[in-house]
Amino acid sequence: MSGRSGIPMTTVVPDRQALAAARKSLPGSVAVVMTMGALHAGHETLLRAAAERADHVLVTIFVNPLQFGPNEDFDRYPRTLEADLEICRAAGVAVVFAPARDEIYPGGEPMVRVDPGPLGGQLEGQSRPGFFNGVLTVVLKLIQLTRPDFAFFGEKDYQQLTLVRRMARDLDLGVEIVGVPTVREPDGLALSSRNRYLSAPEREAAVRLSAALRAGATAAADGLGAAGALSAARAAFGTPVGVAAPKLDYLVLTDPDLGPAPDGGPARLLVAAWVGQTRLIDNAAIDLVPPATT
Ligand code: PAF
């Protein structure tokens, strides 16, 4: 459907019946971009990538209670629906599904959930027990409800992307999962809805996560190997001094599927840290090139 300006209109639907009708009205291929709202330039990049690949883009906006632990930020998570809808309209999104909690979990919390397997208990899953169980459960439900051809996820949440890919394959979901590179501030900080929690000194300190990744990538490219890349990354992250200093949760090197670190070739460096009350994560692809021989 087009508005007077000729720009396609965005249909906003709050419930599954309206979603089913809106979805049925979309001819051709559909890409879904699942979000918890608080959209930023990183999401806009996802929307653009989705629009390039599919005939229509469908966005979901739902702050999923199942993926927040009891002491996490569910209540204070930013909710900015009007601004989010403006971004979706400007990006030419066809349908926005913005359901209330009861629409997604009509009988309360679901008894049957997706088990993320062993990878779900590592890294983010170790620090946030139950997190990926909640993420995969809602992702599976949203895939069932939106019936997309493609689903786009940011590489910023690399473990989430890896597990969603695995779920799509292991459970034969019939949807292509597409990863989109992380969008960064000019100083390297990865865009995240949670960045808005940071005070000015915390924002300054938060740059240490991406600085660590850059140092690790440079050391790997210089032929310093897995151990050299990790120690360069640790050195660049630094030791926490002062109240705003980030406190490291993990800094690890893995293979691109989050298995054990390889001796050479493509690898992934992942970092998580607390900056004040805010937990930030970041990651980068690195290439472990062999040392130069003279
Ligand atoms: O990445 C997110 O915003 C969420 O984990 C997702 C995929 C929308 C599921 O709630």
What pLDDT, on a 0 to 100 scale, did the predictor assign at position 281? 98
Nearest protein CA to atom 1 of ligand 1, as residue: 35
pTM of the full structure: 0.95
Domain residue ranges of the chain, discontinuous segments joined by +: 11-180, 193-287
11 CA distance to ligand 1 centroid (A)?
21
Residues 133-180 pLDDT 10s:
999 999 999 999 999 999 999 999 999 999 999 999 999 999 999 999
Q: Which fold has domain 193-287?
A: Pantoate--beta-alanine Ligase; Chain: A,domain 2 (3.30.1300)
Residue 293 has pLDDT above 80, yes or no: no
What distance in Å separates the CA atoms of residue 162 and residue 247, rounded to the nearest whole number?
Answer: 25
Residue 1 has pLDDT above 70, yes or no: no
Residue 64 CB–ligand 1 contact under 6 Å? yes
What pLDDT, on a 0 to 100 scale, did the predictor assign at position 260? 97
Q: 116: which 2 tokens?
A: 């993320």
Q: Which CATH architecture has domain 11-180?
A: 3-Layer(aba) Sandwich (3.40)
294 CA distance to ligand 1 centroid (A)?
48
Residues 29-65 pLDDT 10s:
999 999 999 999 999 999 999 999 999 999 999 999 9
139 CA distance to ligand 1 centroid (A)?
7
The helix/strand/coil state of 255 is coil
What pLDDT, on a 0 to 100 scale, did the predictor assign at position 241? 72
What pLDDT, on a 0 to 100 scale, did the predictor assign at position 274? 96
In the chain, the amino acid numbered 141 is K
Residue 248 phi/psi, 5° resolution?
Answer: -70, 130
**Given 10, 11, 43, 161, which residue is catalytic?**
43
Has 56 been annotated as catalytic? no
